[in-house]
Amino acid sequence: MNLPVPLNTFIGIIASLFSTLSLLPQLIKILKDRKAEDISIWMLLILFIGLGLWVYYGVLVKDPMIIIANSISVLINLLIIIFSIKYKPA
């Protein structure tokens, strides 16, 4: 296979895409079902800190891919947190 970039860069890009986009179906599900009872708010909060630190890491090593991918993840994760709290039983 002829790749326009080295194999490791290519795999890194695809891995970023999958990791980043994985949060999207969860956001869609919450918006559709208006229910988030079974989702761990701790998972979301710890992930939020983790993703935020990855953005900071991207800034430190000046890697736009890491910054962009994790910024999108932080945003989707934040929306999931907001709607989880909104749709959680009191």
> Can you give the binding site for a second copy, defined by CB under 8 A?
7-8, 11-12, 14-26, 28-30, 33, 35-40, 42-44, 46-47, 49-51, 53-54, 56-57, 60-61
CB of 66 to a second copy, least distance (A): 10
CB of 2 to a second copy, least distance (A): 17
CB of 6 to a second copy, least distance (A): 9
Structure tokens at 12: 């890194």
Handedness of CA 22, 79, 77, 5 (dihedral sign): positive
Alpha-carbon span 69 to 32, nearest angstrom: 25
How many residues comprise the chain? Answer: 90
